[in-house]
Amino acid sequence: MGAPTPPGHVRADAPMPIVMFGLARGMFDHGALGIARSAGRLRIPVYRVSQERWAPARLSRYSSGWLPIPKDSSDEQVLGLLHKLSGEIGRGILVPIDDAGSVFADTHAAVLAEDFLFPRQPAGLARELASKRTMYELCQKHDIPAPASFFPQSETDLTQLARQLTFPAVIKVIEAADAGPHVPRVMIAQDPADLFRAYRVMESPKSSNIMLQEYIPGNPESVWMFNGYFDAHSECKVAFTGKKIRQSPPYTGVTTLGVCEPNPAVQEATTRLMKAVGYRGIVDIGFRFDQRDGQYKLLDVNPRIGGSFRLFVGQDGTDVLRALYRDLMGKPVATTAPTEGRRWIVEPLDLKSAVVYRRRGDITLMEWIRSLRGIREAAWFAADDPLPFLALWLAVLLWLPRLGEVRR
């Protein structure tokens, strides 16, 4: 894991370290690199506990240590690894970086709280928000617009739904933790044949794990994001909104180019929902504007830090990670003004997606060039931390088919 400070030698005046924790595989997880850089530039040590033994982000100058989780580890073994790490580096702030890690922290909160600081959710809330089904039910309960959704239990149910659906239709995995690492999380079916193919690829052998969702027409820029931090009283301390310009996979995936822009409707809906359910901590939420009825409809909730969080940086340098750190350390979180027009890119994923958008007639070469204006930060390239970027390109040559295996 590198060379953390030996047990018993943690300096009393040293900043409390951050421990990134994830249970899903993510060799090309640019969000983890963003965490290391955001905290590391403030001289906060950052450690990573994950399924990978190696990833480009491990070469970051801001990575203080890396602890791989052995394959097929039990919950008790994972807890043991985290406890051992805490004994080496001292009490730290635990930051889940994927849904499985967020649910794990929620499930084992009492044990983890002995070694780490982290926002304590109402019991089971992280799982409710991470699940597409219970998230949809929460939207209905709290009057938050969402696309019409259906939950087939078998191919017989799917046959009946196929007669009622309007195509294209969206197919999503309900519980990402129950799907294999190579199973797509979202697919778009153009017709019933597509629908059955997607169902068979995405279905879990354990239980029904598929949600069908109404497709909302519109260009990629109709997809909006909210990034924010909620304190122990579920009060929103930091809020940012922005638009997706391009995604990977195209039209359905993670943000590859985004812009920070104000959207009071998205911000109001999110803060109202999070307050109603008692949410605490960082949240990353996606909406889509439905021009048919003029509503912003909630697509998904990530009860954790999102991979695109560095798109959203206030004029004073605050992002959601820094807000969480200050709050958990008992320091005031100042109101920050978003940097409107700030653009952030994930290279080379955005180039790969731009080729697809251009092939389909959704963007011209000049429009692609103009879209790059205003980029303030890249997910991989950084002048003060070049090695992850160089390692990424080497990895692209070796593992190009796996490049799309990133999380939103």
- 239 and 349 together in one domain: yes
- 161 and 195 together in one domain: yes
pLDDT, tens digit, 9 for 90 and up, residues 369-401:
999 999 999 999 999 999 999 999 887 777 654
- 268 and 188 together in one domain: no
Report the number of distinct structural domains present in the chain.
2
- 327 and 202 together in one domain: no
Which of 214, 238, 259 terminates a domain? The answer is 214
Peptide bond into 348 cis (omega under 30): yes
- 304 and 339 together in one domain: yes
228 domain-assigned: yes
- 359 and 247 together in one domain: yes
316 domain-assigned: yes
Q: Return d(Cα 189, Cα 198) in angstroms, integer.
A: 7
- Give the residues of the chain that fall short of pLDDT 50: 2-10, 401, 403-408
- 202 and 326 together in one domain: no
What CATH number corresponds to the domain at position 226? 3.30.470.20
Token duo for residue 13: 């005046």
- 160 and 258 together in one domain: no
Q: Return d(Cα 308, Cα 407) in angstroms, integer.
A: 10
Q: Say if CB 109 and CB 269 are below 8 A apart.
A: no
Burial of 90: CB neighbours in 10 Å, binned 0-12, 13-18, 19+: buried
Q: Say if CB 18 and CB 95 are below 8 A apart.
A: yes
Q: Which residues contact 45 (CB under 8 A, 6 or more apart)?
A: 14, 15, 17, 18, 39, 64, 65, 89
Q: Say if CB 17 and CB 77 are below 8 A apart.
A: no
| Nearest alpha-carbon partner for 82 in 23, 12, 27 | 23
- 210 and 238 together in one domain: no
pLDDT, tens digit, 9 for 90 and up, residues 265-317:
999 999 999 999 999 999 999 999 999 999 999 999 999 999 999 999 999 99
Expressed as residue numbers, the domain containing 327 is 220-380
- 292 and 159 together in one domain: no
- 186 and 324 together in one domain: no
Which of 214, 245, 265 terminates a domain? The answer is 214
51 domain-assigned: no
